[in-house]
């Protein structure tokens, strides 16, 4: 146990300060404070000594230097049981500081509020993290509080131990302090790398806030948690059981597609990270039924993401089937009431989630790969018509729709589509022609097509040989979109022209592993 006799308080966030002041007064703990904290403590009616009086050195440089002083840091860092340290403390007439309560300038909040570089720079805290690191290093003798949420813990600890703290308690707070300073520095580093557009610096810092610990990972023997760069996720769970690791994977896979569809249009059904049905239609119920018809067997127990608000009529349809998760841009009150009849279904409001340029990474064997996201919104300017036969507006839009879905399907990926609705999806095969076969088989199994239907196909990468395209054309496909770049592109174009097939090349490839 270590008795606390003197505390240093320097906080940017002054909420709940009185909770701490009461307990410090109870155990006759002296208080040193700085600037605005000093004024607030006095205002609340408690005794405190201003930092400038303690150090006999005025705050300078508009408050940039106030706690950065040998008397302060010696008071924190000296080893209480070290004879040499004791001797030096007596020589310089320095006093021990046993408790440091500090929180940092709100750098992240400042970034969210302004793009003014001068304001942002002035909200980089120097003194606060320095105090926290010093106290955390000397946890054997010093207690450090870096978060308002720790106030209750400190109060309980001091009551329980009559003004002292245990080593175990100080070690825990030390870990949390170093974690916070590392996080804080990471956000600052990220600001500078973004400013310079240096997305791949020599040292890559990945940081995040714990959202929640998950029951387990992909499998029950694996541990898992979800973190966010923000303090919370941009999605809100309105109902149902907690989300699992696999739920989050599928949820974001579905949102990656639905958020790239036209505003207030589009239904996506996902199973095990792959779409099994996607449709754009003005009629919400029709959109859902079209997406479901692509592969109703795989859709069972899947996740549905609606890029619009769910109304009562659609809710009644959704309740007829089993979905793990339903995602929407809001719900009518009547829809919520209907969907909540199923106790375990998770209802997610993704209204606030927007498509952004973000980065993703994958980690293996103590290394990780980092890349920019693949969420570009496709337009006609991103493709080139290379066949003699030209698509009309409807077919071209259908091709772009299929290609957009295709880039979210595990490679090798083939998507068949009719009227902005998927009718067959082949995914995750080592051979592209095998993906063609799967997509065709799905289409033949679940669709009632006639000869006049315009079926289009999208491939996430180029066809290396004509066998894949030949297979698609034989199944009734009349238009194909694929990335260019093969040494056999000319052969593919020639074959398309020989079979009177529309062929469109994309400027970009879209593998998804």
334-375, pLDDT tens digit by residue?
999 999 999 989 999 999 988 777 778 888 888 878 877 778
Concatenating the DSSP letter of every residue in 202-215 gives SS-----EEEEE-S
List C-alpha distances in Å: 76 to 80, 99, 103, 177, 181: 10, 8, 16, 15, 17
Please tell me whether residues 440 and 349 are part of one structural domain. Answer: no
Question: What pLDDT is recorded for position 59?
Answer: 80
Nearest by Cα to 147 from 36, 15, 312: 15
- Secondary structure of residue 33 in the 3-state scheme: strand
Of 272, 313, 340, 494, which residue is the catalytic one? Answer: 272
Q: Is residue 183 part of a domain?
A: yes
Handedness of CA 474, 478, 483, 485 (dihedral sign): positive
Question: What pLDDT is recorded for position 29?
Answer: 96
- B/e letters for 162-199, b = 16+ CB within 10 Å, e = fewer, are ebbbeeebbeebbebbbebbebbebebebbebeeeeee
Q: Is residue 230 part of a domain?
A: no
CATH number of the domain where residue 183 is located: 3.40.50.1380
Question: Would you call 137 a catalytic residue per the annotation?
Answer: yes
Please tell me whether residues 353 and 382 are part of one structural domain. Answer: no
Question: Would you call 14 a catalytic residue per the annotation?
Answer: no
Q: How far apart are CA 244 and CA 209, in angstroms?
A: 17
Structural domain for 443, as ranges: 377-506
Please tell me whether residues 186 and 87 are part of one structural domain. Answer: yes
Q: How far apart are CA 427 and CA 440, in angstroms?
A: 12
Please tell me whether residues 396 and 446 are part of one structural domain. Answer: yes
The domain boundary, picked from 375, 407, 422, lies at 375
Q: Is residue 333 part of a domain?
A: yes
Peptide bond into 258 cis (omega under 30): no
Question: What pLDDT is recorded for position 226?
Answer: 93
Please tell me whether residues 181 and 118 are part of one structural domain. Answer: yes
Number of C-beta neighbours around residue 152 at 10 A: 12
Please tell me whether residues 359 and 266 are part of one structural domain. Answer: yes
CATH number of the domain where residue 385 is located: 3.40.140.20
8 Å CB contact between 416 and 275: no
Please tell me whether residues 94 and 165 are part of one structural domain. Answer: yes
Ranges of residues in the chain with a pLDDT under 50 are none
Of 69, 86, 137, 286, which residue is the catalytic one? Answer: 137
The domain boundary, picked from 331, 348, 375, lies at 375
Question: What pLDDT is recorded for position 280?
Answer: 96
The domain boundary, picked from 336, 359, 375, lies at 375
Residues with Cβ within 8 Å of residue 513, at least 6 apart in sequence: 410, 411
Please tell me whether residues 150 and 173 are part of one structural domain. Answer: yes
Please tell me whether residues 280 and 336 are part of one structural domain. Answer: yes
Residues with Cβ within 8 Å of residue 183, at least 6 apart in sequence: 207, 209
Q: Is residue 461 part of a domain?
A: yes
Domain count, the chain: 3
DSSP state at residue 304: E
């Amino acid at each position: 146990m270590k008795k606390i006799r003197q505390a240093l308080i320097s906080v940017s966030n002054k909420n709940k300060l009185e909770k701490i002041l009461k307990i410090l007064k109870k155990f006759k703990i002296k208080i040193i404070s700085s600037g605005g904290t000093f004024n607030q403590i006095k205002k609340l009616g408690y005794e405190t000594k201003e930092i400038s009086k303690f150090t006999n050195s005025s705050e300078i440089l508009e408050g940039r230097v106030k706690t950065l002083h040998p008397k302060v840091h010696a008071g924190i860092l000296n080893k209480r049981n070290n004879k040499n340290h004791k001797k030096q403390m007596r020589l310089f007439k320095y006093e021990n500081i046993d408790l440091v309560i500090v929180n940092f300038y709100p750098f992240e909040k400042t970034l969210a509020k302004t793009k003014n570089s001068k304001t942002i720079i002035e909200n980089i805290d120097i003194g606060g993290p320095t105090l926290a690191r010093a106290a955390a290093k000397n946890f054997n003798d010093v207690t450090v509080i870096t978060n308002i949420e720790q106030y209750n813990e400190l109060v309980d600890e001091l009551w329980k131990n009559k003004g002292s703290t245990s080593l175990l308690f100080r070690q825990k707070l030390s870990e949390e302090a170093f974690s916070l300073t590392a996080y804080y520095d990471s956000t600052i580093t990220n600001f500078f790398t973004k400013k310079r557009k240096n997305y791949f610096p020599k040292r890559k810092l990945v940081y995040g806030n714990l959202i929640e610990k998950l029951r387990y990972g992909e499998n029950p023997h694996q541990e898992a948690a979800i973190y966010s760069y923000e303090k919370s996720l941009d999605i809100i769970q309105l109902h149902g059981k907690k989300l699992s690791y696999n739920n989050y994977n599928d949820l974001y896979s579905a949102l990656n597609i639905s958020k790239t569809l036209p505003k207030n249009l589009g239904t996506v059904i996902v199973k095990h990270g792959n779409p099994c049905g996607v449709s754009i239609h003005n009629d919400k119920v029709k959109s859902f039924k079209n997406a479901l018809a692509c592969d109703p067997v795989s859709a069972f127990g899947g996740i549905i993401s609606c890029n619009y608000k769910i109304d009562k009529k659609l809710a009644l349809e959704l309740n007829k089937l089993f979905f793990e998760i339903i995602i929407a841009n809001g719900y009518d009150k009547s829809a919520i009431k209907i969907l909540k009849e199923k106790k375990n279904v998770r209802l997610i409001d993704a209204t606030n989630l927007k498509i952004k340029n973000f980065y993703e990474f994958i980690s293996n064997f103590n290394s990780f790969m980092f890349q920019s996201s693949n969420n570009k919104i496709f337009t006609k300017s991103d493709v080139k018509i290379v066949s003699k036969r030209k698509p009309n507006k409807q077919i071209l839009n259908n091709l772009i729709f299929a290609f957009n879905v295709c880039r979210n399907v595990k490679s090798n990926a083939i998507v068949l589509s009719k009227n902005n609705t998927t009718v067959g999806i082949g995914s995750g095969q080592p051979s592209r022609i095998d993906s063609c076969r799967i997509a065709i088989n799905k289409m033949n199994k679940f669709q009632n097509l006639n000869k006049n239907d315009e079926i289009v196909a999208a491939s996430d990468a180029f066809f290396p040989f004509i066998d894949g395209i030949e297979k698609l054309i034989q199944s009734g496909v009349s238009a194909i979109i694929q990335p260019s770049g093969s040494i056999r592109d000319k052969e593919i174009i020639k074959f398309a022209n020989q079979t009177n097939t529309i062929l469109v090349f994309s400027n970009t490839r879209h593998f998804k592993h």
